[in-house]
């Protein structure tokens, strides 16, 4: 690494050879991940192949699951003994700071109702910061993410130098980026609006900016929205998928979307313009269904790893169970 100012030795081109990984270096995150992985393996944890940051351990009927974000670890166990043991084992290898029950994680607020067993994820504080940043905190709220039947296209992009100059200092990308994180984390209701508006991020026009402000006005009236998961709801995942045919007037491509639920709340969702031009409504539906099944198979693999059951996907009147009997047997057969 480069020598820090005031501690130079030798010539100006001399660098230091690190004898130990230093936080912030290029290889630091990789080395830390390998070290943590070895620690977990030493304590009998299984690393998920679907999501390597999730590790689980089953001892008798005691299940312990942890999820890692750099050096932040979120864990859950079916028993208090499993929780205490996990903390004790990690504490022998690292200096831990136990923050107790998680209240915030990655900008999301976690609220619990001990009486009903409900857990709610929300981002009200983040929503309010977005509104203040883009001076929309006093706007009249809207009831929908976009105006009904709105049509946006590349024809609405700036055409003259005067129009480009007017849009030069409009914070379109900044506002769109803020909404992207929001819709990824806790707001699936924003997915289609964000996907549509992002198509014009390279050269937005006044109509695009007005549409984005409409979305922010919708956010103003829904800052309290969140996702609630209930202990009393079915834990088995199920999903819905659909597509609109040739909804993109610029390229005649269709837009597809899916959402999967567990415990009464959405856990995975997407709204995306299809890469290929569909020649019929049926073809658009099949392409959407294929992408949803790809996600369902990934979720199925992940749920298998933490001992959960199969799920179902619904496409209009069509229902598809993720894993039929033959496929389960293939998964359970040992590899040669």
CATH number of the domain within which 285 lies = 3.30.420.10
Phi then psi for residue 74, to 5 deg, are -110, 130
Locate tokens 């660098």: which residue?
Answer: 15
Phi/psi-derived region of residue 246, left when phi > 0, alpha when psi is between -120 and 50, beta in every other case:
left
Per-residue model confidence (pLDDT) at position 243: 97
Identify the CA nearest to 183 among candidates 169, 201, 195. 195
Phi/psi-derived region of residue 316, left when phi > 0, alpha when psi is between -120 and 50, beta in every other case:
left
Cα torsion at 10, 11, 14, 20 (round to 10°)?
Answer: 20
Contact 256, 274 (CB under 8 A): yes
The β-bridge partners of 69 are 72
Q: Is 114 part of any domain?
A: no
Geometric angle at alpha carbon 289, from 285 and 294, rounded to 5°: 155
Distance between CA atoms of 26 and 18, rounded to whole angstroms? 12
Domain boundary among 193, 220, 247: 220
Neighbours of 84 (CB within 10 A): 11
Per-residue model confidence (pLDDT) at position 332: 38
Q: Are residues 256 and 188 in the same domain?
A: no
* Domain limits for position 261: 234-332
Q: Are residues 254 and 213 in the same domain?
A: no
Q: Are residues 138 and 205 in the same domain?
A: yes
What are the percentages of helix, strand and coil residues in the chain, rounded to 5? 35, 20, 40
pTM value is 0.84
Distance between CA atoms of 6 and 34, rounded to whole angstroms? 33
Token pair in block for residue 125: 């504080």
Q: Are residues 74 and 14 in the same domain?
A: yes
The tally of CA atoms less than 13 A away on the side-chain side of residue 249 is 8
Token pair in block for residue 234: 């079915």
Contact 106, 121 (CB under 8 A): no
Tell me the mean pLDDT per 10 residues along the chain, length 336. 76 79 84 93 94 92 91 92 94 93 92 94 97 97 96 95 93 97 97 98 97 98 97 91 95 97 96 97 96 94 75 62 44 38
Q: Is 192 part of any domain?
A: yes
The tally of CA atoms less than 13 A away on the side-chain side of residue 163 is 13
Identify the CA nearest to 302 among candidates 40, 46, 51. 51
Q: How many domains does the chain have?
A: 3
Contact 109, 103 (CB under 8 A): yes
Q: Are residues 240 and 206 in the same domain?
A: no
Per-residue model confidence (pLDDT) at position 324: 41
Distance between CA atoms of 336 and 264, rounded to whole angstroms? 40
Token pair in block for residue 110: 């976690």
Q: Are residues 293 and 205 in the same domain?
A: no
Q: Are residues 92 and 53 in the same domain?
A: yes
Per-residue model confidence (pLDDT) at position 319: 61
Locate tokens 């995942």: which residue?
Answer: 237
Q: Are residues 239 and 210 in the same domain?
A: no
Cα torsion at 272, 277, 282, 285 (round to 10°)?
Answer: -10
Distance between CA atoms of 79 and 62, rounded to whole angstroms? 6
């Amino acid at each position: 690494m480069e020598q820090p100012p005031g501690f130079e030795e030798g010539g100006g081109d001399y660098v230091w050879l690190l004898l130990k990984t230093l936080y912030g270096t290029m290889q630091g995150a990789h080395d830390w991940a390998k070290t943590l992985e070895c620690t977990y393996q030493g304590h009998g944890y299984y690393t998920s192949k679907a999501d390597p940051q999730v590790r689980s351990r089953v001892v008798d009927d005691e299940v312990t699951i942890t999820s890692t974000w750099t050096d932040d670890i979120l864990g859950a166990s079916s028993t208090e003994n499993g929780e205490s043991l996990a903390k004790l084992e990690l504490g022998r290898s690292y200096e831990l700071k136990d923050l107790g029950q998680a209240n915030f994680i990655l900008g999301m607020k976690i609220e619990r109702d001990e009486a009903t067993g409900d857990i709610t994820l929300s981002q009200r504080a983040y929503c309010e910061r977005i509104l203040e940043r883009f001076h929309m905190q006093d706007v009249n709220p809207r009831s929908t993410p976009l105006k009904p039947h709105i049509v946006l296209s590349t024809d609405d992009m700036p055409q003259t130098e005067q129009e480009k100059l007017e849009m030069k200092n409009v914070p379109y990308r900044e506002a769109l980026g803020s909404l992207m994180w929001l819709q990824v984390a806790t707001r699936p209701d924003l997915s289609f609006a964000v996907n549509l508006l992002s198509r014009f991020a390279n050269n937005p026009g006044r109509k695009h900016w007005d549409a984005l402000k409409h979305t922010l006005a919708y956010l103003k009236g829904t800052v309290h929205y969140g996702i609630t998961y209930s202990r009393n709801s079915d834990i088995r995942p199920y999903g819905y998928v659909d597509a609109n045919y040739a909804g993109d007037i610029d390229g005649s491509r269709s837009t597809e979307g899916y959402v999967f639920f567990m415990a009464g709340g959405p856990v995975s969702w997407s709204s995306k313009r299809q890469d290929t031009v569909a020649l019929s409504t049926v073809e658009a539906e099949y392409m959407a269904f294929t992408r949803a099944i790809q996600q369902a198979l990934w979720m199925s693999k992940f749920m298998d790893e933490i001992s959960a059951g199969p799920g179902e996907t619904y496409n209009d009147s069509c229902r598809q169970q993720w894993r039929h009997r033959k496929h389960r047997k293939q998964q359970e057969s040992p590899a040669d």
